[in-house]
Amino acid sequence: MSKKLRPVLVGALGTASVAAIVIATPALSSAAPAPAPPAAQAASVLASGGDLASPEKKEIAMELVSSAENSSLNWKAQYKYIEDIGDGRGYTAGIIGFCSGTGDMLELVQAYTDAVPNNPLAKYLPALKKVNGTDSHSGLGTPFVNAWKQAAATSAFQTAQNNERDRVYFNPSVNQAKSDGLGALGQFIYYDAIVMHGPGNSSDSFGGIRKTAMSKAKTPAQGGNETTYLKAFLAARKVIMKQEEELLGQLDFVVASVHSKLRMPAKEMTPRMLAAVRNPHVRVLGHCTGRLVVGRGRPESEFDAEAVFTACRENGVAVEINSRPERLDPPMRLLRLAAELGCEFAIDSDAHAPGQLDWQGYGCERAIKAGIGPEQIINTRTAEELLAR
Kindly report the CATH number assigned to the domain that includes residue 76: 3.30.386.10
Catalytic residue among 69, 180, 204, 344: 69
Tens-place pLDDT, residues 2-29: 443 333 333 333 333 333 333 333 333 3
Tens-place pLDDT, residues 95-119: 988 999 989 999 999 999 999 999 9
Task: Calculate ∠ Cα 12-16-21, nearest 5°.
Answer: 80
87 catalytic? Reply is yes
Catalytic residue among 63, 83, 87, 326: 87
Tens-place pLDDT, residues 120-151: 999 999 999 999 999 899 999 999 999 999 99
47 in any annotated domain: yes
Q: What is the pLDDT of residue 248?
A: 82
Domain enclosing residue 146, as ranges: 7-241
The answer to whether residues 262 and 165 belong to one domain is no
Closest CA relative to residue 67, chosen from 354, 261, 328, 301: 261
The answer to whether residues 51 and 97 belong to one domain is yes
180 catalytic? Reply is no
The answer to whether residues 358 and 382 belong to one domain is yes
382 in any annotated domain: yes
The answer to whether residues 157 and 288 belong to one domain is no
Specify the long-range contacts of residues 246-255, CB closer than 8 Å, at least 24 apart.
248/7, 248/279, 248/281, 249/281, 251/281, 252/387, 253/283, 253/284, 253/386, 253/387, 254/279, 254/281, 254/282, 254/283, 254/284, 255/282, 255/283, 255/284, 255/285, 255/286, 255/320, 255/346, 255/348
The answer to whether residues 337 and 204 belong to one domain is no
237 in any annotated domain: yes
The answer to whether residues 287 and 351 belong to one domain is yes
Between CA 269 and CA 259 the distance in angstroms is: 12
Global pTM value: 0.62
The answer to whether residues 98 and 24 belong to one domain is yes
Tens-place pLDDT, residues 272-316: 999 999 999 999 999 999 998 887 788 999 999 999 999 999 999
The answer to whether residues 123 and 194 belong to one domain is yes
248 in any annotated domain: no
The answer to whether residues 81 and 189 belong to one domain is yes
Q: What is the pLDDT of residue 48?
A: 53
377 in any annotated domain: yes
247 in any annotated domain: no
- 93 beta partners: 82, 98
Q: What's the whole-number mean pLDDT along residues 165-186?
A: 95
The answer to whether residues 200 and 330 belong to one domain is no
Instruction: Show Cβ contacts of residue 340 under 8 Å, excluding neighbours closer than 6 positions.
Output: none
Tens-place pLDDT, residues 26-57: 333 333 333 333 444 444 544 456 799 999 99
The answer to whether residues 189 and 93 belong to one domain is yes
The answer to whether residues 333 and 236 belong to one domain is no
- From the CB of residue 339, how many other CB atoms can be counted at a distance below 10 Å? 19
